[in-house]
């Protein structure tokens, strides 16, 4: 069972155990839903309720009704099972693109080394120590592990 990092539990809200999660995960609408499982450290919890508040994902967990029950997990990374995301055949997680070949036209330009997240859901591929905005991705071929990006002079 592969776990996927979806965010970090950064603080509590109120005294009843609601937690604030900082997340830039691309499929939050499938993850932060009532009844779904999340993991803080290696402990499994079930989401009781979810709401957005400013830049945070606010979650209450079944069986947690007091701030003191959840405080020991503050600062934990939040994970979900990849199988629970229910990706469609042509969908992928950002992290799945790491090690994909990057092409401009028919020319291999490099391999995705990492993904960088900036504010306001801006994401960059790191290819040959250069940054490629996600907006320049033309096509992703999951079977061949290839990404085609726009031809921009001096990009790669």
The pLDDT tens digits for 69-109 are: 999 999 999 999 999 998 998 899 998 999 999 999 999 99
pLDDT score, position 125: 82
Does the structural domain 3-85 have CATH classification 1.20.1260.10?
no
Q: Enter the CATH code of domain 94-149.
A: 2.30.30.240
Let me know the angle formed at the C-alpha of 115 by 139 and 138, rounded to the nearest 5 degrees: 15
| Residue 120 clears pLDDT 90, i.e. is over it | no
| Residue 119 clears pLDDT 80, i.e. is over it | no
Q: Where are the domains of the chain?
A: 3-85, 94-149
pLDDT score, position 121: 63
C-alpha R_g of the chain:
18
Q: What is the pTM of this model?
A: 0.82
pLDDT score, position 141: 95
């Amino acid at each position: 069972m592969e776990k996927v990092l979806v965010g970090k539990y950064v603080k509590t809200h109120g005294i009843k155990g609601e937690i604030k999660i900082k997340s830039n995960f691309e499929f939050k609408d499938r993850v932060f839903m009532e009844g779904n499982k999340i993991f803080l450290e290696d402990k499994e919890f079930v989401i009781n309720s979810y709401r957005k508040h400013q830049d945070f994902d606010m979650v209450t967990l079944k069986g947690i009704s007091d701030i003191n029950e959840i405080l020991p997990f503050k600062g934990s990374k939040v994970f979900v099972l990849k199988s629970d995301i229910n990706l469609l055949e042509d969908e992928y997680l950002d992290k799945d693109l790491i090690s994909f070949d990057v092409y401009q036209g028919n020319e291999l330009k490099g391999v995705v080394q990492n993904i960088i997240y900036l504010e306001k859901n801006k994401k960059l591929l790191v290819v040959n120590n250069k940054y490629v905005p996600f907006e320049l991705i033309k096509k992703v071929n999951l079977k061949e592990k290839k990404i085609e990006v726009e031809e921009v002079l001096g990009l790669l």
